[in-house]
């Protein structure tokens, strides 16, 4: 099988055996600055949430019982699966299996769509039952899950850029796929923390 059969052109970033063994931090400095900035922002919001929760523990605990933990668990499994797909996409790209990498990125994107659909359904259910931002707990719930959803939509856009990169036989850069995977992993990590403090903590 030739290089062209694998979907990699001479202008791609094929990794030599030596490069594969070299240790490097995936992505570039701009993506890491963006990720660390987002983590700092969410970290501050988590601290504020914990302070308000400590002040009104009983009220928060009562409101939490109206959340559908089944949907929360399902969304967690969906995002963890999507992170596995993007990680495998990075590995496939490094190995030159470009078609497989594209399919894996599409699978991650499909998981993102499932997450969005479940979140919209959950919001609709809570709102129609009268749980609005007038309740202190639900004001944090909608803010945290809403900002996270906005990041997930941005992540979907980034995955689209990754797919376009993999479709271009003159590019298919591993670094772009790594950066997309990094941002997606951050989205997953943030959701795990949100799930823990919003759905599980009592």
Is 81 a member of any domain?
A: yes
Please compute the mean of the pLDDT values over residues 91-116 and round it to a whole number: 95
Query: In the chain, what percentage of residues exceed pLDDT 90?
Result: 76
Of residues 195 and 30, more confidently modeled: 195
Identify whether 18 is part of a domain: no
Cβ atoms < 10 Å from Cβ of 3: 12
Contact 189, 154 (CB under 8 A): no
Structure tokens at 153: 């939509």
User: How much of the chain, in percent, has pLDDT values that exceed 70?
Assistant: 87
Is residue 84 one of the residues assigned to a domain?
yes
Q: What's the rounded mean pLDDT across residues 158-183?
A: 89
C-alpha–C-alpha distance, residues 10 and 13, integer Å: 8
pLDDT value for 197: 94
We report the CATH number of the domain holding residue 35 as: 1.20.120.80
Q: What is the pLDDT of residue 13?
A: 45
Residue 129, φ and ψ in degrees, nearest 5: -95, 10
> Is 138 within the bounds of a domain?
yes
Is pLDDT larger for residue 127 or for residue 19? Answer: 127
Asked if 107 and 43 touch (Cβ cutoff 8 Å), the reply is no
pLDDT, tens digit (0-9, with 9 covering 90-100), for 80-102: 999 999 999 999 998 989 999 99
- Is 171 inside any structural domain? yes
| Separation of alpha carbons 55 and 96, rounded Å | 54
Asked if residue 115 belongs to a domain, the reply is yes
Please, which residues have CB within 8 angstroms of residue 125's CB and are 6 or more apart in sequence?
68
Asked if residue 157 has pLDDT above 80, the reply is yes
Give how many domains the chain has, as a whole number: 1
Mean predicted confidence (pLDDT) in 160-176: 87
Has residue 7 got a pLDDT over 60? Answer: no
pTM of this prediction? 0.83
What is the pLDDT at residue 25?
A: 64
Residue 196 counted as domain residue? yes
How high is the pLDDT of residue 23? Answer: 57
DSSP codes, the chain: --TGGGT--TTS-PPPHHHHHS---SS-HHHHHHHHHHHHHHHHHHHHHHHHHHHTHHHHHHHHTTS-HHHHHHHHHHHHHHHHHHHHHHHHHHTT-HHHHHHHHHHHHHHHHHHHHHHHHHHHHHHHTT--TTSHHHHHHHHHHHHHHHHHHHHHHHHHHHHHHHH-TT---HHHHHHHHHHHHHHHHHHHHHIIIIII--
Mean pLDDT (the chain) is: 87
Q: Tell me which residue range forms the domain holding 129.
A: 26-200
């Amino acid at each position: 099988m030739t290089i062209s059969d694998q979907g990699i052109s001479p202008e791609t970033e094929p990794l030599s055996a030596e490069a594969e063994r070299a240790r490097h931090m995936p992505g570039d400095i701009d993506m890491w600055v963006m990720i660390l900035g987002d983590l700092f922002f969410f970290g501050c919001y988590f601290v504020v949430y914990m302070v308000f929760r400590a002040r009104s523990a009983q009220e928060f605990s009562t409101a939490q019982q109206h959340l559908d933990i089944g949907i929360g668990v399902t969304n967690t499994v969906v995002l963890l699966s999507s992170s596995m797909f993007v990680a495998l996409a990075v590995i496939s790209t490094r190995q030159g299996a470009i078609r497989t990498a594209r399919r894996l990125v599409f699978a991650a994107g499909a998981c993102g769509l499932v997450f969005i659909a479940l979140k919209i359904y959950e919001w609709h259910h809570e709102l129609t039952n009268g749980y609005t931002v007038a309740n202190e707990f639900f004001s944090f719930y909608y803010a945290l899950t809403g900002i996270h959803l906005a990041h997930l939509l941005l992540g979907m856009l980034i995955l689209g850029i990754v797919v376009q990169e993999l479709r271009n036989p003159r590019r298919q850069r591993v670094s772009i796929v790594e950066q997309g995977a990094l941002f997606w992993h951050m989205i997953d990590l943030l959701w795990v923390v949100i799930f823990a403090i919003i759905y599980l903590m009592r």
